[in-house]
């Protein structure tokens, strides 16, 4: 039986949707229960992660016929394939026999074979063979296929949506598309360097909310991000809409001999619920945060460097970003303890500096109550 938001509100004595919207408008956060309750986590899987566009991989992972890449959208395992016909397709990465995964890591094969019992599928998801199936009456491979999901390119990035009938990705990204299209002209040329991964002891929304505001940058990141970029409210620009958030700020730490007038600074885009990418004059990155449990999440960040950039500067920039993200993890892990205390019903935002949080929380609430 599908859980309903009304059941959660009754169980935890939460405000009504109208009351929560009114509180958000006044600068209050979502109730603390939203960051710890198992029922909210379950509802988010159904209402958000099963119906949203999320970053899957760089186009290089599925560049050739036979390539496939594995990813997740919340709790849903997904595999993206490059067919012999050149088409990208996506499927739930679960065999239709006894629900074992088809693949555990990226690869290239002409067919996809489940390692458990050997059921074999084409890159179009169609079941080709199943050992001993000829011994079964009325067993027809042509009636069985992997469950499809939606797949789209966003420049060099591959996005997936578990909903096979999802609205186009452009319907989500429209508000910042002109900015990100210009940004990707540069980022397309950047070269992959390293993947950073972080396991957090916090609800995924805490990490996402941390990512979409920079009010914390001068204090939490004073020797990392806050040392590298100007983050005062007069220098650092933020812009929010229903599904997207944009940040932009000038570089403070300028390498010796570089003309600051030619630097474009830091640009950051976030798409609800969990994907983000950024670019400056030396490095760029794209990543995603995924829920693991009500109070655990996992994030990955793929780092790229501008060709021809001073290797020492790139090294320092990458170290700065790793330090920044570790600091974010430490802060949100501690934050979760406060949310678990049960003593503070909600937080209080400063909307001039934290308006992206208000936008993120409204979109979350709208999804959960839809």
Mean pLDDT value across residues 276-299: 95
Average pLDDT over residues 48-59: 96
211 with 270: CB under 8 angstroms?
A: yes
CATH hierarchy code of domain 173-368: 3.90.380.10
Rounded CA-CA distance 271/153 in Å is 14
Q: In sequence order, which residues have a C-beta less than 8 Å from that of residue 124 and are 6 or more positions away?
A: 81, 83, 89, 145
> Is-above-0.85 flag for pTM?
yes
* Predicted local confidence at residue 254, as pLDDT: 82
- Distance between CA atoms of residues 104 and 84, nearest Å: 21
**Residue 36: what are its φ and ψ, rounded to 5°?**
-145, -20
Homologous superfamily of domain range 54-168: Rieske [2Fe-2S] iron-sulphur domain (2.102.10.10)
- Taking alpha carbons only, the member of 89, 48, 119, 101 closest to residue 369 is 48
Domain ranges of the chain: 54-168, 173-368
Q: What is the mean pLDDT of residues 340-358?
A: 95
Give the integer Cα–Cα distance in Å for 90 and 160. 7
At residue 1, the pLDDT reads 58
Tokens of 307: 């060709």
Distance, CA of 286 to CA of 298 (rounded, Å)? 14
**pLDDT > 70? residue 55:** yes
Taking residues 21-27, what's their average pLDDT?
Answer: 97
Q: Which helix (H) or strand (E) holds 171?
A: helix 170-173
Q: How far apart are CA 148 and CA 160, in angstroms?
A: 11
pLDDT over threshold 70, residue 101: yes
pLDDT value at 273 more than 90: yes
Q: How many helices (H) and strands (E) does the chain have?
A: 10, 17
Encode 317-348 in three state secondary structure: HHHHHHHHHHHHHHHHHHHHHHHHCCCCCCCE
Q: Given a cut of 90, is residue 34 above it in pLDDT?
A: yes
Long-range pairs for 341-344 at CB < 8 Å and ≥24 separation?
342/32, 344/32
Q: What is the DSSP string of 205-232?
A: HHHHHHHT--TTHHHHTTTTHHHHB--S
Helix (H) or strand (E) holding 160: strand 157-161
Residues 6 or more apart whose CB falls under 8 angstroms from that of 254 comprise 260, 263
Is the model's pLDDT at 324 over the cut of 90? yes
Largest Cα span, the chain: 77
């Amino acid at each position: 039986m599908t859980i309903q938001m009304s059941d959660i509100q009754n169980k935890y004595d939460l405000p009504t949707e109208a009351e929560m919207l009114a509180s958000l408008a006044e600068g209050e956060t979502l109730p603390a229960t939203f960051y710890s309750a198992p029922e909210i986590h379950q509802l988010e899987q159904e209402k958000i992660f099963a119906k949203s566009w999320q970053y899957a991989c760089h186009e290089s992972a599925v560049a050739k016929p036979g390539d496939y890449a594995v990813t997740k959208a919340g709790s849903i395992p997904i595999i993206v394939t490059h067919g012999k016909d050149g088409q990208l397709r996506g499927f739930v990465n679960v065999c239709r026999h006894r629900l074992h995964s088809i693949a555990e890591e990226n690869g290239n094969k002409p067919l996809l074979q489940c390692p458990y019992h050997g059921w074999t599928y084409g890159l179009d998801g169609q079941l080709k063979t199943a050992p001993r199936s000829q011994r079964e009456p009325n067993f027809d491979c042509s009636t069985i296929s992997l469950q499809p999901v939606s797949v789209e390119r966003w420049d060099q990035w591959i996005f997936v949506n578990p909903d096979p009938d999802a609205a186009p990705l452009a319907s989500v990204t429209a508000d910042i598309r002109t900015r990100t299209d210009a940004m990707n002209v540069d980022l397309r040329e950047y070269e992959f360097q390293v993947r950073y991964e972080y396991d957090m002891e916090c609800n995924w929304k805490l990490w996402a909310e941390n990512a979409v505001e920079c009010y914390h940058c001068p204090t939490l990141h004073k020797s990392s991000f806050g040392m590298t970029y100007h983050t005062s409210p007069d220098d650092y620009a933020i812009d929010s809409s229903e599904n997207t958030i944009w940040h932009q700020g000038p570089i403070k730490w300028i390498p010796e001999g570089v003309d600051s007038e030619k630097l474009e600074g830091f640009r950051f885009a976030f798409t609800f619920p969990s994907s983000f990418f950024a670019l400056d004059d030396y490095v760029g990155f794209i990543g995603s945060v995924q829920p693991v449990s009500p109070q655990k999440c996992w994030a990955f960040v793929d780092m790229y460097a501008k060709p021809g950039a001073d290797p020492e500067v790139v090294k320092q920039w990458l170290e700065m970003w790793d330090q920044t993200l570790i600091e974010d993890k430490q802060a949100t892990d501690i934050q979760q303890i406060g949310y678990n205390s049960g003593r503070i019903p909600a937080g209080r935002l400063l909307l001039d500096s934290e308006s992206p949080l208000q936008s993120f929380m409204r979109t979350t609430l709208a999804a959960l109550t839809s």
